[in-house]
Amino acid sequence: MLTFNDVNRDFKAIFDGVSDANRVVPSTAKAVMVALILPMIGITLSTLTFGVLCAGSNHRNISISLLVDYILSGDAIPVYMSMVIGFLQVIILLPYIVLYHSIPQSIREKTPLITYFKKALFKGVVLYICTLLMTCLMSYHNPIYLFATPVVMCIAIFATFMTFNLQMAKYGVGPLIHKLNKTIR
């Protein structure tokens, strides 16, 4: 469990590391690639599940060309929903990832505060992926559950940020993030 002394010491280390004029500027392309990972998992699972169910209902074997035909047919509403929600996830995640990448690697590895947030994030990602897999498996039982994947993706955005903001408020990280944003810009 973190103490307020740990948090204050980490604040100082993070702020000093970001204030260093010799630090490496984070790559925007790398931040976008990292932000695309989770949404692409949801979109891929939604697309593959939709393709397999459509191919099965038409008594055909799934193939890439058949999957593309299904998506371009205009009937892949769950896939389109997943794409839109995935795009929104990228937009929402990107500033946090850029901020994280702005902190020097040596500080990211040794501060208990960031380690704590990374562990919590890992648990959330595992839960997110397991829930998406469960919705995909449920859609084999009843195709209406195809719409559950985009819904879970949407709920995950709100649940993640509510949890993250509660943890930030618990440790008083908000002022640090505000200070870091001013320093980075």
pLDDT at residue number 10: 78
DSSP E strands, 40-154: none
pLDDT digits (tens, 9 = 90+) for 130-161: 999 999 999 999 999 999 999 999 998 888 88
How far apart are the C-alpha atoms of 85 and 45, rounded to whole Å? 14
How far apart are the C-alpha atoms of 85 and 95, rounded to whole Å? 17
What's the pLDDT band for 184 if we cut at 50, 70, 90?
low
pTM: 0.83
Residue 179 has pLDDT above 80, yes or no: no
- Most confident listed range (29-43, 107-121, 171-185): 29-43
**Would you kindly state where each structural domain of the chain is located, as residue ranges?**
4-184
